[in-house]
Amino acid sequence: MTDNHIPKDFHSFESDAPFERCIQCNKYLLDDDTEYIIEKAVKNYERYEAKDVVFDYAICMDCAEEMRKEISKESWQSMMNYFQQNMDVHARLQMQNQSPTENLSKCMIKNTHMDQCSEYQIYAHCRGNKLNMENPPYMISGEVMEELIPLLSEKTIDEMNGFMNKHFSPDPSLMEPIPPRLVLL
């Protein structure tokens, strides 16, 4: 059995502390019975041996469910089909018995080590100040994200971009033409 406390990998980049509030509704997250998702996108700069957090947030399950409703049924089905066809379900079940660090070290789909990914996203399902290991944390490589984006409808991409634009306002001088970010809940 592993320690289920939320590892620093899932702490807020801004505060270096556990997330306390839902990004959408501001609900307090650290009560024992409050379930929520943490998502963090990271860009690797191999040339500089550095990593940069592109965005990170926590969202309560109520708000996450509302966001899921905004994803078109076709997009949702396409994503689920992708995961069914590409994910090793047995390996995913084994993740319940591994440490979060082991779970995050390789892409859940491509098995690529995080240090070999130019970008990746990590996810955790939490309850209060602990990980919910029934749905263990995982990492998805940028390569997987690139394969998922064409499966999404324009409406779904617009919804996801709307969420990102509402909550994250990068410095315009840092912006370059990039594909839409996929927010998986």
Q: Averaged over 57-62, what is the pLDDT? A: 97
Residue 183 domain-assigned (yes or no) = no
Q: Averaged over 109-123, what is the pLDDT? A: 93
Place of tokens 């919910």: 132
CB contact burial 99-135 (16+ within 10 A = b; e otherwise):
ebeebbebbbbbebebeebebbbbbbbbbeeebbbeb
Please state whether 124 falls in left (phi above 0), alpha (psi between -120 and 50) or beta: beta
Q: Are residues 124 and 140 in contact, defined by beta-carbon separation less than 8 angstroms? A: no
Q: Which domain holds residue 21?
A: 8-74+81-167
Which comes out higher in pLDDT, residue 15 or 173?
A: 15
Token couple for 51: 């990593």
Residue 173 domain-assigned (yes or no) = no
Contact residues for 18 (Cβ-Cβ < 8 A; gap 6+): 6, 10, 11, 12, 30, 129
Determine the 3-state secondary structure of 127 from DSSP: strand
pLDDT for res 48:
58
pTM here is 0.84
DSSP class of residue 132?
-
pLDDT for res 63:
96
pLDDT for res 1:
40
Q: Which of 96, 95, 92, 15 is nearest to 57 (CA)?
A: 15
Residue 132 domain-assigned (yes or no) = yes
Q: Is the pLDDT of residue 178 over 70?
A: no
Q: Averaged over 28-55, what is the pLDDT? A: 88
Which comes out higher in pLDDT, residue 121 or 177?
A: 121
Residue 181 domain-assigned (yes or no) = no
Residue 182 domain-assigned (yes or no) = no
Which comes out higher in pLDDT, residue 179 or 18?
A: 18
Count of structural domains within the chain: 1
Residue 180 domain-assigned (yes or no) = no
Residue 1 domain-assigned (yes or no) = no
How many other CB atoms are there within 10 angstroms of residue 182's CB atom?
A: 21
Contact residues for 142 (Cβ-Cβ < 8 A; gap 6+): 117, 118, 119, 120
Residue 101 domain-assigned (yes or no) = yes
pLDDT for res 171:
52
DSSP class of residue 21?
B
